[in-house]
Structure 1
Amino acid sequence: MGTWEEHREGARKQLDISLVTISTSKYLDRTKKDISGEIARNLLEKTGHRVLSTTIIPDRKDMIRRELLRLLISDTDVIITSGGTGLTSDDITIEAITPLFKKEIPGFGELFRRLSYDEIGGASMLTRAAAGVIEGKLV
Protein backbone atom coordinates (compact mmCIF):
# COMPACT_ATOMS: atom_id res chain seq x y z
CA MET A 1 0.00 0.00 0.00
CA GLY A 2 1.40 3.43 -0.99
CA THR A 3 1.73 6.40 1.34
CA TRP A 4 -1.31 8.23 -0.06
CA GLU A 5 -3.36 5.06 0.33
CA GLU A 6 -2.29 4.79 3.99
CA HIS A 7 -3.29 8.41 4.59
CA ARG A 8 -6.64 7.87 2.93
CA GLU A 9 -7.26 4.67 4.91
CA GLY A 10 -6.52 6.44 8.20
CA ALA A 11 -8.59 9.54 7.42
CA ARG A 12 -11.87 10.22 9.20
CA LYS A 13 -14.88 9.34 7.11
CA GLN A 14 -17.20 11.97 8.59
CA LEU A 15 -16.18 15.60 9.01
CA ASP A 16 -17.95 18.42 10.81
CA ILE A 17 -18.22 21.30 8.36
CA SER A 18 -19.25 24.95 8.55
CA LEU A 19 -20.48 26.75 5.43
CA VAL A 20 -20.05 30.49 4.95
CA THR A 21 -21.66 32.30 2.02
CA ILE A 22 -20.05 35.66 1.32
CA SER A 23 -22.53 37.88 -0.50
CA THR A 24 -23.57 41.41 0.37
CA SER A 25 -26.78 41.14 -1.67
CA LYS A 26 -27.89 37.93 0.09
CA TYR A 27 -26.88 39.36 3.47
CA LEU A 28 -28.98 42.50 2.93
CA ASP A 29 -31.97 40.72 1.38
CA ARG A 30 -32.67 37.57 3.41
CA THR A 31 -35.52 36.68 1.04
CA LYS A 32 -32.93 35.71 -1.60
CA LYS A 33 -32.22 31.99 -1.60
CA ASP A 34 -28.68 30.86 -0.98
CA ILE A 35 -28.73 28.26 -3.74
CA SER A 36 -24.98 27.57 -3.69
CA GLY A 37 -25.11 27.08 0.09
CA GLU A 38 -28.05 24.69 -0.23
CA ILE A 39 -26.28 22.68 -2.95
CA ALA A 40 -23.11 22.45 -0.85
CA ARG A 41 -25.05 21.36 2.23
CA ASN A 42 -26.95 18.67 0.30
CA LEU A 43 -23.78 17.28 -1.32
CA LEU A 44 -21.89 17.20 1.97
CA GLU A 45 -24.70 15.51 3.88
CA LYS A 46 -25.26 13.03 1.05
CA THR A 47 -21.61 11.97 1.33
CA GLY A 48 -21.86 11.40 5.07
CA HIS A 49 -20.53 14.65 6.51
CA ARG A 50 -22.23 16.84 9.12
CA VAL A 51 -22.93 20.50 8.44
CA LEU A 52 -22.70 22.23 11.81
CA SER A 53 -23.56 25.73 10.64
CA THR A 54 -24.44 27.89 7.67
CA THR A 55 -23.87 31.64 7.69
CA ILE A 56 -24.33 34.48 5.22
CA ILE A 57 -22.06 37.51 5.62
CA PRO A 58 -21.37 40.56 3.44
CA ASP A 59 -18.29 41.19 1.31
CA ARG A 60 -16.43 42.95 4.12
CA LYS A 61 -12.95 41.91 5.15
CA ASP A 62 -13.56 42.56 8.85
CA MET A 63 -16.73 40.46 8.92
CA ILE A 64 -15.16 37.64 6.89
CA ARG A 65 -12.23 37.45 9.29
CA ARG A 66 -14.45 37.73 12.37
CA GLU A 67 -16.61 34.82 11.19
CA LEU A 68 -13.54 32.78 10.30
CA LEU A 69 -11.99 33.37 13.72
CA ARG A 70 -15.28 32.44 15.42
CA LEU A 71 -15.38 29.16 13.50
CA LEU A 72 -11.71 28.40 14.14
CA ILE A 73 -12.44 28.10 17.87
CA SER A 74 -15.54 25.97 17.29
CA ASP A 75 -15.83 22.19 16.90
CA THR A 76 -15.84 22.39 13.10
CA ASP A 77 -13.18 20.47 11.17
CA VAL A 78 -13.55 22.28 7.85
CA ILE A 79 -14.71 25.77 6.88
CA ILE A 80 -16.03 26.14 3.34
CA THR A 81 -16.63 29.60 1.93
CA SER A 82 -18.58 30.43 -1.18
CA GLY A 83 -18.54 33.77 -2.96
CA GLY A 84 -16.25 36.74 -3.26
CA THR A 85 -13.57 35.03 -5.35
CA GLY A 86 -14.15 36.84 -8.64
CA LEU A 87 -12.54 39.97 -10.05
CA THR A 88 -14.84 42.83 -9.03
CA SER A 89 -13.84 45.32 -6.36
CA ASP A 90 -16.33 43.64 -3.97
CA ASP A 91 -14.65 40.24 -4.34
CA ILE A 92 -12.32 40.28 -1.32
CA THR A 93 -12.66 36.79 0.15
CA ILE A 94 -9.20 35.76 -1.02
CA GLU A 95 -7.60 38.94 0.34
CA ALA A 96 -9.35 38.41 3.69
CA ILE A 97 -8.49 34.75 4.15
CA THR A 98 -5.21 33.80 2.42
CA PRO A 99 -2.95 35.95 4.65
CA LEU A 100 -4.13 33.76 7.56
CA PHE A 101 -3.04 30.49 5.91
CA LYS A 102 -0.29 28.64 7.77
CA LYS A 103 -0.06 26.32 4.76
CA GLU A 104 -1.58 26.88 1.35
CA ILE A 105 -2.96 24.05 -0.80
CA PRO A 106 -2.29 25.28 -4.36
CA GLY A 107 -3.65 22.10 -5.93
CA PHE A 108 -7.15 22.97 -4.70
CA GLY A 109 -7.46 26.06 -6.90
CA GLU A 110 -5.95 24.22 -9.84
CA LEU A 111 -8.38 21.32 -9.53
CA PHE A 112 -11.34 23.66 -8.92
CA ARG A 113 -10.60 25.56 -12.13
CA ARG A 114 -10.11 22.32 -14.07
CA LEU A 115 -13.43 20.88 -12.92
CA SER A 116 -15.16 24.22 -13.50
CA TYR A 117 -13.78 24.27 -17.04
CA ASP A 118 -15.79 21.13 -17.80
CA GLU A 119 -18.94 22.98 -16.69
CA ILE A 120 -18.43 26.58 -17.85
CA GLY A 121 -15.46 26.59 -20.21
CA GLY A 122 -12.94 29.42 -20.28
CA ALA A 123 -14.80 31.50 -17.69
CA SER A 124 -13.37 29.10 -15.11
CA MET A 125 -10.08 31.02 -15.20
CA LEU A 126 -11.83 34.00 -13.59
CA THR A 127 -12.14 32.31 -10.20
CA ARG A 128 -9.45 32.77 -7.60
CA ALA A 129 -10.43 29.69 -5.60
CA ALA A 130 -7.97 28.87 -2.82
CA ALA A 131 -7.60 26.56 0.16
CA GLY A 132 -5.25 26.28 3.07
CA VAL A 133 -4.82 25.35 6.70
CA ILE A 134 -5.39 27.77 9.58
CA GLU A 135 -5.00 26.60 13.19
CA GLY A 136 -5.13 22.98 12.02
CA LYS A 137 -8.43 23.42 10.18
CA LEU A 138 -8.98 23.20 6.46
CA VAL A 139 -10.38 26.43 4.99
Structure 2
Amino acid sequence: MAGIDESRAFLAVNIAVLTVSDTRTFETDKSGQVLTSAIAEAGHHLVDRAIVSDDCEAIVDRLKTWIANREIDVIITTGGTGITGRDVTPEAFQQVCEKDIPGFGELFRHLSYRKIGVAALPSRATAGVAGGTYLFALPGSSGACSDGWNEILRWQLDSRYRPCNLVSLMPRLSEK
Protein backbone atom coordinates (compact mmCIF):
# COMPACT_ATOMS: atom_id res chain seq x y z
CA MET A 1 0.00 0.00 0.00
CA ALA A 2 1.22 3.51 -0.81
CA GLY A 3 2.34 5.75 2.03
CA ILE A 4 5.09 6.60 4.48
CA ASP A 5 7.11 3.66 5.77
CA GLU A 6 8.06 4.77 9.30
CA SER A 7 10.71 2.05 9.50
CA ARG A 8 12.80 3.93 6.93
CA ALA A 9 14.96 6.96 7.69
CA PHE A 10 13.99 10.39 6.41
CA LEU A 11 16.65 11.91 4.13
CA ALA A 12 16.52 15.69 3.81
CA VAL A 13 16.85 17.02 0.26
CA ASN A 14 18.57 20.29 -0.75
CA ILE A 15 16.16 22.44 -2.73
CA ALA A 16 16.34 25.75 -4.62
CA VAL A 17 13.20 27.77 -5.46
CA LEU A 18 12.97 30.03 -8.51
CA THR A 19 10.09 32.42 -9.06
CA VAL A 20 9.60 33.49 -12.67
CA SER A 21 7.87 36.87 -12.75
CA ASP A 22 8.22 40.37 -14.15
CA THR A 23 6.42 41.90 -11.18
CA ARG A 24 7.02 39.96 -7.98
CA THR A 25 9.50 40.75 -5.25
CA PHE A 26 10.45 38.57 -2.26
CA GLU A 27 7.88 40.51 -0.23
CA THR A 28 5.04 39.93 -2.73
CA ASP A 29 5.99 36.43 -3.89
CA LYS A 30 3.27 34.36 -2.20
CA SER A 31 3.96 31.29 -4.35
CA GLY A 32 7.66 31.26 -3.46
CA GLN A 33 6.73 31.71 0.18
CA VAL A 34 4.31 28.77 0.03
CA LEU A 35 7.07 26.56 -1.36
CA THR A 36 9.81 27.71 1.04
CA SER A 37 7.52 27.20 4.03
CA ALA A 38 6.48 23.75 2.85
CA ILE A 39 10.10 22.76 2.22
CA ALA A 40 11.11 23.76 5.75
CA GLU A 41 8.04 22.15 7.32
CA ALA A 42 8.84 18.87 5.56
CA GLY A 43 12.39 18.90 6.98
CA HIS A 44 14.23 19.64 3.74
CA HIS A 45 16.86 22.37 3.24
CA LEU A 46 16.27 25.53 1.22
CA VAL A 47 19.68 26.12 -0.36
CA ASP A 48 18.80 29.16 -2.49
CA ARG A 49 15.88 31.24 -3.67
CA ALA A 50 15.72 33.71 -6.54
CA ILE A 51 13.37 35.69 -8.74
CA VAL A 52 14.01 36.16 -12.45
CA SER A 53 11.97 37.86 -15.15
CA ASP A 54 9.87 36.00 -17.70
CA ASP A 55 12.87 35.73 -19.99
CA CYS A 56 13.97 32.36 -21.35
CA GLU A 57 17.69 33.21 -21.27
CA ALA A 58 17.49 34.45 -17.67
CA ILE A 59 15.66 31.29 -16.60
CA VAL A 60 18.13 29.02 -18.42
CA ASP A 61 21.10 30.86 -16.88
CA ARG A 62 19.75 30.44 -13.34
CA LEU A 63 18.84 26.80 -13.93
CA LYS A 64 22.30 26.01 -15.31
CA THR A 65 23.97 27.71 -12.35
CA TRP A 66 21.93 25.70 -9.88
CA ILE A 67 22.29 22.43 -11.83
CA ALA A 68 26.07 22.87 -11.66
CA ASN A 69 25.88 23.38 -7.88
CA ARG A 70 26.38 19.92 -6.35
CA GLU A 71 24.73 21.16 -3.14
CA ILE A 72 21.35 21.37 -4.93
CA ASP A 73 19.34 18.18 -5.46
CA VAL A 74 16.05 19.69 -6.59
CA ILE A 75 14.97 22.91 -8.31
CA ILE A 76 11.34 24.00 -8.09
CA THR A 77 10.17 26.89 -10.23
CA THR A 78 6.91 28.78 -9.96
CA GLY A 79 5.48 30.88 -12.75
CA GLY A 80 5.76 31.10 -16.50
CA THR A 81 3.97 27.81 -17.26
CA GLY A 82 0.90 29.27 -18.96
CA ILE A 83 0.33 29.87 -22.67
CA THR A 84 0.81 33.61 -23.03
CA GLY A 85 3.70 35.06 -24.98
CA ARG A 86 5.71 35.79 -21.82
CA ASP A 87 5.26 32.26 -20.38
CA VAL A 88 8.55 30.56 -21.29
CA THR A 89 9.49 28.34 -18.33
CA PRO A 90 8.76 25.06 -20.18
CA GLU A 91 10.89 26.29 -23.10
CA ALA A 92 13.74 27.02 -20.67
CA PHE A 93 13.35 23.52 -19.21
CA GLN A 94 13.59 22.05 -22.73
CA GLN A 95 16.96 23.75 -23.13
CA VAL A 96 18.47 22.24 -19.96
CA CYS A 97 16.71 18.94 -19.24
CA GLU A 98 18.38 15.73 -20.28
CA LYS A 99 15.31 13.64 -19.49
CA ASP A 100 11.69 14.65 -19.15
CA ILE A 101 9.41 13.39 -16.39
CA PRO A 102 6.09 13.59 -18.27
CA GLY A 103 4.14 11.96 -15.45
CA PHE A 104 4.63 15.03 -13.27
CA GLY A 105 2.79 17.40 -15.62
CA GLU A 106 0.16 14.80 -16.37
CA LEU A 107 -0.49 14.14 -12.69
CA PHE A 108 -0.46 17.85 -11.84
CA ARG A 109 -3.07 18.63 -14.51
CA HIS A 110 -5.19 15.67 -13.35
CA LEU A 111 -5.13 16.95 -9.77
CA SER A 112 -5.83 20.50 -10.96
CA TYR A 113 -8.75 19.31 -13.07
CA ARG A 114 -10.31 17.72 -9.98
CA LYS A 115 -10.08 21.09 -8.19
CA ILE A 116 -10.62 23.72 -10.89
CA GLY A 117 -12.14 21.80 -13.77
CA VAL A 118 -11.24 22.69 -17.32
CA ALA A 119 -9.38 25.79 -16.10
CA ALA A 120 -6.45 23.35 -15.74
CA LEU A 121 -6.17 23.15 -19.53
CA PRO A 122 -3.58 25.92 -20.14
CA SER A 123 -1.18 24.63 -17.47
CA ARG A 124 2.16 23.49 -18.84
CA ALA A 125 3.57 22.24 -15.53
CA THR A 126 6.55 20.08 -16.37
CA ALA A 127 9.53 18.28 -14.87
CA GLY A 128 12.82 16.75 -15.84
CA VAL A 129 16.34 15.79 -14.84
CA ALA A 130 19.57 17.61 -15.70
CA GLY A 131 23.05 16.99 -14.35
CA GLY A 132 21.69 14.69 -11.66
CA THR A 133 19.27 17.39 -10.44
CA TYR A 134 15.48 17.18 -10.46
CA LEU A 135 13.62 20.16 -11.94
CA PHE A 136 9.92 20.84 -11.40
CA ALA A 137 7.96 23.73 -12.95
CA LEU A 138 4.75 24.74 -11.20
CA PRO A 139 2.30 27.47 -12.17
CA GLY A 140 2.64 30.86 -10.50
CA SER A 141 -0.45 30.79 -8.29
CA SER A 142 0.01 30.03 -4.62
CA GLY A 143 -2.82 27.49 -4.82
CA ALA A 144 -1.06 25.62 -7.62
CA CYS A 145 2.19 25.62 -5.64
CA SER A 146 0.40 24.33 -2.58
CA ASP A 147 -1.31 21.60 -4.61
CA GLY A 148 1.89 20.64 -6.43
CA TRP A 149 3.78 20.34 -3.16
CA ASN A 150 1.09 18.73 -1.01
CA GLU A 151 -0.23 16.32 -3.61
CA ILE A 152 2.97 15.30 -5.43
CA LEU A 153 6.34 16.67 -4.35
CA ARG A 154 5.85 16.25 -0.61
CA TRP A 155 5.51 12.52 -1.17
CA GLN A 156 7.98 11.94 -3.98
CA LEU A 157 10.70 13.90 -2.16
CA ASP A 158 10.22 11.86 1.01
CA SER A 159 12.67 8.95 1.15
CA ARG A 160 10.20 6.97 3.27
CA TYR A 161 7.39 7.00 0.70
CA ARG A 162 6.49 3.57 -0.68
CA PRO A 163 6.28 1.84 -3.03
CA CYS A 164 8.77 4.24 -4.65
CA ASN A 165 10.02 7.81 -4.46
CA LEU A 166 12.35 10.07 -6.42
CA VAL A 167 14.87 10.38 -3.58
CA SER A 168 15.79 6.71 -3.90
CA LEU A 169 16.80 7.32 -7.52
CA MET A 170 19.07 10.32 -6.81
CA PRO A 171 22.32 8.33 -6.56
CA ARG A 172 21.64 6.89 -10.03
CA LEU A 173 20.52 10.02 -11.91
CA SER A 174 23.94 10.64 -13.47
CA GLU A 175 24.63 7.04 -14.47
CA LYS A 176 26.03 6.49 -17.92
Q: Structure 1 length normalisation: TM-score?
A: 0.85
Q: Decide which of 132, 135, 146 is 1:136's aligned counterpart.
A: 132
Q: Decide which of 12, 15, 18 is 1:17's aligned counterpart.
A: 15
**How do 1:103-118 and structure 2 match up within 5 A?**
103-118=99-114
User: Which runs of structure 1 show a deviation greater than 3 angstroms over 4 or more consecutive aligned residues?
Assistant: 9-12
SS in structure 2 opposite 1:43? helix
**How do 1:59-78 and structure 2 match up within 5 A?**
59-74=54-69, 75-78=71-74
Identity %: 38
* Superposition CA RMSD, Å: 2.1
Counterpart Cα distance in 2 of 1:110 and 1:135: 23
Counterpart Cα distance in 2 of 1:70 and 1:12: 27
**What is aligned with 2:34?**
39
Task: Compare the two structures and name the one with the higher helix fraction.
Answer: 1
Counterpart Cα distance in 2 of 1:13 and 1:98: 29
Unaligned ranges ≥5, structure 1: none
Higher relative contact order (CA 8 A, sep 6+): 2
* TM-aligned CA deviation for residue 99 of structure 1: 3.0
Deviations 1:29-57 (A, max 9, x none): x3751000000111111111111111000
**What is aligned with 1:100?**
96
Counterpart Cα distance in 1 of 2:121 and 2:12: 31
SS in structure 2 opposite 1:131? strand
Amino acid at match of 2:93: I
Alpha-carbon contact 2:81-2:124 (below 8 Å) kept: yes
Alpha-carbon contact 2:13-2:74 (below 8 Å) kept: yes
**What is aligned with 2:115?**
119
Taking structure 1 as reference, are residues 10 and 114 closer, same or farther at Cα in structure 2, changes over 3 Å only?
A: same
SS in structure 2 opposite 1:89? coil
Unaligned ranges ≥5, structure 2: 136-176
* Number of residue pairs aligned between Structure 1 and Structure 2: 130
